[in-house]
Amino acid sequence: MGIFRRVKDVFLAETNGLIDKCEKPLHMVNQYMREFGIELEKGQHALARQLFIEKRQAALIAHAEASVEKRERQAKLAVNQGEDQIAKLALQEKLLQEKKLAVYREQYAAIQEQTKALEERIAQLQVQSEEYNHRRLLLESRVNVASSLKELNQRVVSFQTDGMVRGFARAEEKVLMIEAELEAMHRFNSPAMRSAPQYLDPALTAEIETSLAALKQQPAAEA
């Protein structure tokens, strides 16, 4: 009995240690997940700003392209009308817009690369977030199982072994009593027991002995 108690004590101690070790890491994981969520939200806001910058740059490119086409039409019209000075001014503006357009396009390409990199990073963060959520759920499950084992083991250890032994003995005695009562009922209710008494009357002892002696003296044939 002492060995079993020691085994239970050791198991309980190990289970309590597991709970103590799991509770703090679980709080730490929850904190990390909150911080991770904040960083992911920051990334999404950054992506929104990046997309806005990209759209604004695309609008600058469209405006510059429209200006180049407009100045070219003005230059052609001025040449057709013999207005060379006006044509030169239009062509000059066209060249300036083309230079701006080239710069805008280079900037737009760089912005698109930044947007792509940011999108890829956010996608990675989302995958990591799902993975961490899964790991956190798994850790919570392990803590719940360990807590259940701890509670169950505490209930088992709280039992008094001596009381259990006495309880089994009382139960066995009750079963023996029921079996004895059934056997007694069977004996008294059997046909043999009902047809003849199972005891000798002291008042008839002398007569019984006389009858028995007379019975023994009778010839065997008569018997």
* Length of the chain, in residues: 223
176 and 146 inside one domain: no
143 and 173 inside one domain: no
Supply the CATH number for residue 78's domain. 1.10.287.950
144 and 179 inside one domain: no
22, part of any domain: yes
8 and 27 inside one domain: yes
Q: How far is CA 104 from the centre of its chain?
A: 53
Residue 166 is inside which H or E element, if any?
helix 161-188
Number of folded domains in the chain? 2
219, part of any domain: no
128 and 40 inside one domain: yes
145, part of any domain: yes
Instruction: Give the domain range for residue 182.
Output: 161-198
| Last residue in a domain, options 159, 179, 214 | 159
pLDDT (0 to 100) of residue 133: 83
214, part of any domain: no
| Residue-wise pLDDT tens digits, 99-149 | 999 999 999 999 999 999 999 988 888 888 888 888 888 877 777 777 777
pLDDT (0 to 100) of residue 40: 86
In the chain, which stretches have pLDDT less than 70?
Answer: 1-25, 152-165, 187-201, 220-223
152 and 173 inside one domain: no
Distance (Å, whole) CA 110 – CA 116: 10
Q: Which of 60, 47, 69, 48 is nearest to 106 (CA)?
A: 60
Distance (Å, whole) CA 144 – CA 118: 38
Percentages helix, strand, coil for the chain (3-state, rounded to 5) are: 90, 0, 10
pLDDT (0 to 100) of residue 181: 78
